[in-house]
């Protein structure tokens, strides 16, 4: 993990990227949807020898990536995945972006179609801290990971870990691996039941594949 | 106010067509160019410029493809206008297309009027300019001619092919026709086919040329007069399409030209009128009217997917070339949707592709302007491609 500190100077909130990286087998083909400034893509290509491609909505992000020499296109997860043929990639990654898509189910289906595996990370809206803010504060929650007020957040489709598990079932996928991170960014005990993850996991990372 | 004066035949523009201030490759009659029109064109002359030094392995060559009214004078003083080259923002020492590192080649396109065989060149069979006897030229023909030049220079594989607008069409055609000869490609502000709207604009320009009584069915070289009025109108109309409404408004608004009140006449009261007239009158000094007809037609005929049964993805099947595609938000002549169609076709084939839509109000002409986002994108892409291709760093003094 020594290499990775350079990418995350004092940014424990994106510790999920390290987990995602660990789920990707070396020398594979990867599409990172919502790749931002290309941090994960660079890690994957430099440390895993991955043929890494990205898609990013913001011009700023795309410019940063292309200037770094990454293969990134400006595009929208909701509309631009349809152009890819089936099984174009070994992994299709969506990190911290699912909740910002207009149609998360359709996006997940597309990911499972164009990738042999899909990796999804998202903030868990079922975390106790969030539940407390809604239950007792009566206000939409604002946390370290979700710092924007309801009227300015790009996140329009929040879900809990259990909601996501239900969606995985509905789109006929199965879970290869799942990891929840607690609020200090540490992975939680693997054998903990879903309700514990759902209450104490602040973020979750899922590795999925098609059921058939 | 700028008057558009008729030019005399024998003007410098024409001398440039036969005796260009450029390097020239003259291919003998035994090496004809097989054109899409079904004609073997010979002898073929290709006028070109180079910048930088070709390395001993001949691996550092970048081919620049010019647009409709561009030419081979990318980064040197233009022999006719005395102005700097058309892409000095992009090409030169330390620029994104770094001539300290790369060997840059640009040739005048087939059908052009700056020294490569075209309607203004003398037809050796008659001793007169080809005029409308020049076979119809396509984008693919232009690329075929460029490939002959690249062969002549002993270059097996180009490191990069780059160009905007009609130059971008040539970049796409290079990748489709000779994928194994192009390591990376940068098509800018272009499209895989000319749209109906674009064909319409071109037709207006051509009709303006042909309506000029001095055009004489393309035989103007015998009359001693040139159809400059028609060509200037064509240029004025086209120039509007290269800019955006916003940019025009910012630059000219409704400002009057050297006056405080309208003259209640048809003089160029508004600055925009004066600007367009200037664009028209300077253009005719350096460009041949028949060439304008031929090159606009070549763009109209361009439809890359059509050559592959209507599926653009098949044009790039199994391609190894790395692409960086650039479009501009305010370009309504070659809108982002056209670039996106190229991206989707490349993705369908699993090609390595980057795509940036640059936010600017400068319209289609943005690719010729000082645009930092364009420079960081292209230099970053070229840098990483050079690493992947195993090119050495530039030597700096």
pLDDT of amino acid A9: 38
Nearest to A66 among B347, B348, B356 (CB): B356
Q: What is the pLDDT of residues B3-42, one digit of tens each?
A: 555 566 566 667 889 999 999 999 998 999 999 999 999 9
Residue A167 at interface with chain B, using a CB cutoff of 8 Å: no
Q: Which residue of A has its CA nearest to B384?
A: A69
pLDDT score of B397: 52
Mean pLDDT of the residues in chain B: 94
- Taking contacts as CB-CB distances below 8 angstroms, the residues of chain A near B352 are 51, 53, 71
Q: Provide the pLDDT confidence category of residue A13 given band limits of 50, 70 and 90.
A: low
The vertex-A135 CA angle with A130 and A140, nearest 5°, equals: 55
Indicate whether A139 belongs to any domain: no
d(CA A56, CA A42): 14
Q: Which of residues 81-110 of A touch B (CB under 8 A)?
A: 83-85, 88
Q: Per the CB < 8 Å rule, is A74 touching B357?
A: yes
Q: Is the residue at A145 inside a domain?
A: no
Give domain status of residue A133, yes or no: no
- Note whether A60 contacts B: Cβ–Cβ < 8 A: no
pLDDT for residue B7: 61
- Domain holding A38, by residue range, is 3-127+156-210
pLDDT of residue B193: 97
Q: What integer pLDDT is reported at residue B385 of this predicted model? A: 94
Structure confidence at residue A16 (pLDDT): 81
Contact A74 B385 (CB under 8 A): no
Q: Do B350 and A88 touch (CB under 8 A)?
A: yes
Under an 8 A CB cutoff, do A75 and B343 touch? yes
Q: Does A113 touch chain B (CB under 8 A)?
A: no
Do the Cβ atoms of B380 and A68 come within 8 Å?
yes
Given B212, B364, B365, B385, which residue is catalytic? B364
Chain A residues touching residue B384 (CB < 8 angstroms):
68-70
Indicate which CATH number applies to the domain containing A179.
3.40.50.150
Q: Is the pLDDT of residue A8 over 60?
A: no
Which portions of chain B are predicted below pLDDT 50? 1-2
User: Contact A59/B347, CB-based, under 8 Å?
Assistant: no
Catalytic residue among B212, B288, B300, B331: B331
pLDDT digits (tens, 9 = 90+) for B144-165: 999 999 999 999 999 999 999 9
Query: In this predicted structure, what is the pLDDT of residue B8?
Result: 61
CA distance A117 to chain B (A): 17
Percent of chain A with pLDDT over 90: 66
Rg (alpha carbons) of chain B, rounded to whole number: 21
CA distance A71 to chain B (A): 5
**Which residue in chain B has the smallest CA separation from A81?**
B344
B165 has catalytic annotation: yes
The three-state DSSP-derived secondary structure of chain B is CCCCCCCECCCHHHHHHHCCCCEEEEECCCCCEECCCCCEECCEEEEEEEECCCCCCCCCEEEEECCCCCCCCCCCCCCCCCCCCCCCCCEECCCCEECCCCEEEEECCCCCCCCCCCCCCEECCCCEECHHHCCCCCHHHHHHHHHHHHHHCCCCCEEEEEEECHHHHHHHHHHHHCHHHEEEEEEECCCCECCHHHHHHHHHHHHHHHHCCCCHHHCHHHCCECCHHHHHHHHHHHHHHHCCHHHHHHHCCCCECCCCCCCCCCCCCEHHHHHHHHHHHHHCCCCCHHHHHHHHHHHHHCECHHHHCCCHHHHCCCCCCEEEEEEECCCCCCCHHHHHHHHHHHHHCCCCEEEEEECCCCCHHHHHCCCHHHHHHHHHHHHHHHHHHCCCCCCCC
- Asked if residue A150 belongs to a domain, the reply is no
Residue A181 is assigned to a structural domain of this protein: yes
Q: Kindly indicate the confidence band of residue A4, based on its pLDDT and cuts at 50, 70 and 90.
A: very low
Query: Tell me, what's the pLDDT at B34?
Result: 96
Interchain CB distance below 8 Å, B377 and A83: no
In the residue annotation, B212 being an active-site residue is answered as no
Write out the CATH class of domain B12-196+305-389: alpha beta
Mean pLDDT of A194-207: 90
- The domain total for chain A is 1
Confidence class of residue A7 from pLDDT cuts 50, 70 and 90?
Answer: very low
Q: Could you say which residues from 22 to 51 on chain A have a Cβ atom under 8 Å away from some Cβ of chain B?
A: 29, 51
Residues of A in contact with B343 (CB under 8 A): 73, 75, 83
- Which pTM does this prediction carry? 0.91
């Amino acid at each position: 993990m020594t290499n990775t500190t350079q990418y995350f100077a004092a940014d424990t909130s994106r510790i999920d990227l390290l987990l995602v990286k660990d789920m990707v087998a070396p020398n594979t083909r990867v599409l990172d949807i919502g790749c931002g400034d290309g941090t994960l893509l660079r890690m994957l290509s430099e440390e895993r020898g991955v043929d890494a491609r990205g898609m990013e909505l913001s011009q700023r992000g795309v410019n940063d990536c292309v200037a770094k020499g990454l293969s990134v296109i400006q595009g929208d997860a909701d509309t631009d995945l349809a152009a890819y043929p089936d099984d174009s990639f070994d992994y299709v990654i969506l990190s911290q972006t699912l909740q910002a898509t207009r149609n998360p189910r359709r996006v997940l289906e597309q990911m499972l179609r164009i990738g042999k595996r899909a990796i999804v990370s998202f903030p868990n809206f079922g975390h106790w801290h969030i539940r407390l803010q809604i239950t007792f504060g009566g206000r939409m929650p604002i946390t370290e990971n979700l710092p924007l007020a309801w009227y300015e957040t790009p996140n329009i489709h929040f879900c809990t870990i259990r909601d996501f598990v239900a969606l995985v079932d509905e789109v006929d996928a199965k879970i290869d691996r799942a990891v929840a991170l607690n609020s200090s960014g540490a992975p939680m005990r693997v054998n903990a039941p879903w309700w514990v993850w759902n209450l104490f996991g602040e973020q979750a990372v899922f590795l999925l594949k098609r059921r058939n | 106010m700028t008057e558009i004066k008729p030019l005399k035949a024998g003007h410098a523009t024409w001398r440039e067509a036969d005796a260009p201030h450029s390097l020239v490759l003259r291919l003998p009659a035994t090496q004809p160019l097989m054109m899409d029109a079904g004609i073997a064109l010979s002898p073929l002359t290709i006028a070109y410029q180079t910048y930088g030094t070709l390395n001993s392995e001949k691996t550092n060559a970048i081919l620049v493809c010019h647009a409709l009214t561009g030419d081979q004078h990318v980064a040197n003083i233009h022999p006719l206008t005395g102005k700097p080259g058309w892409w000095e923002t992009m090409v030169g020492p330390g620029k994104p297309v770094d001539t300290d590192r790369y060997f840059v080649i640009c040739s005048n396109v087939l059908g052009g009027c700056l020294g490569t065989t075209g309607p203004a060149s003398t037809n050796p069979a008659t001793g007169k300019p080809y005029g409308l006897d020049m076979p119809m030229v396509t984008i693919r023909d232009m690329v075929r001619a460029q490939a002959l030049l690249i062969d002549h220079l002993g270059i097996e594989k180009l490191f990069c092919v780059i160009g905007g607008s009609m130059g971008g069409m040539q970049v796409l055609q290079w990748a489709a026709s000779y994928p194994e000869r192009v390591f990376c490609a940068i098509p800018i502000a272009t499209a895989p086919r000319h749209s109906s709207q674009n064909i319409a604009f071109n037709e207006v320009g051509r009709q303006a040329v042909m309506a000029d009584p001095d055009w004489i069915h393309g035989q103007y070289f015998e009359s001693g007069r040139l159809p400059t009025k028609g060509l200037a109108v064509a240029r004025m109309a086209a120039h509007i399409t290269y800019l955006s409404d916003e940019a025009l408004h910012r630059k000219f608004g409704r400002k009057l030209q050297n006056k405080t009140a309208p003259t209640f006449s048809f003089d160029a009261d508004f600055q925009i009128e004066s600007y367009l007239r200037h664009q028209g009158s300077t253009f005719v000094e350096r460009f041949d009217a028949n060439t304008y007809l031929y090159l606009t037609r070549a763009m109209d005929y361009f439809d890359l997917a059509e050559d592959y049964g209507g599926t653009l993805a098949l044009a790039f099947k199994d391609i190894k070339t790395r692409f960086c595609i650039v479009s501009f938000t305010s370009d309504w002549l070659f809108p982002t949707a056209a670039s996106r169609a190229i991206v989707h076709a490349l993705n369908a084939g699993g090609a390595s592709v980057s795509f940036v839509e640059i936010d600017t109000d400068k319209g289609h002409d943005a690719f010729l302007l000082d645009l930092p986002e364009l420079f960081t994108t292209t230099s970053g892409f070229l840098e990483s491609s050079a690493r992947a291709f195993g090119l050495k760093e530039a030597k700096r003094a």
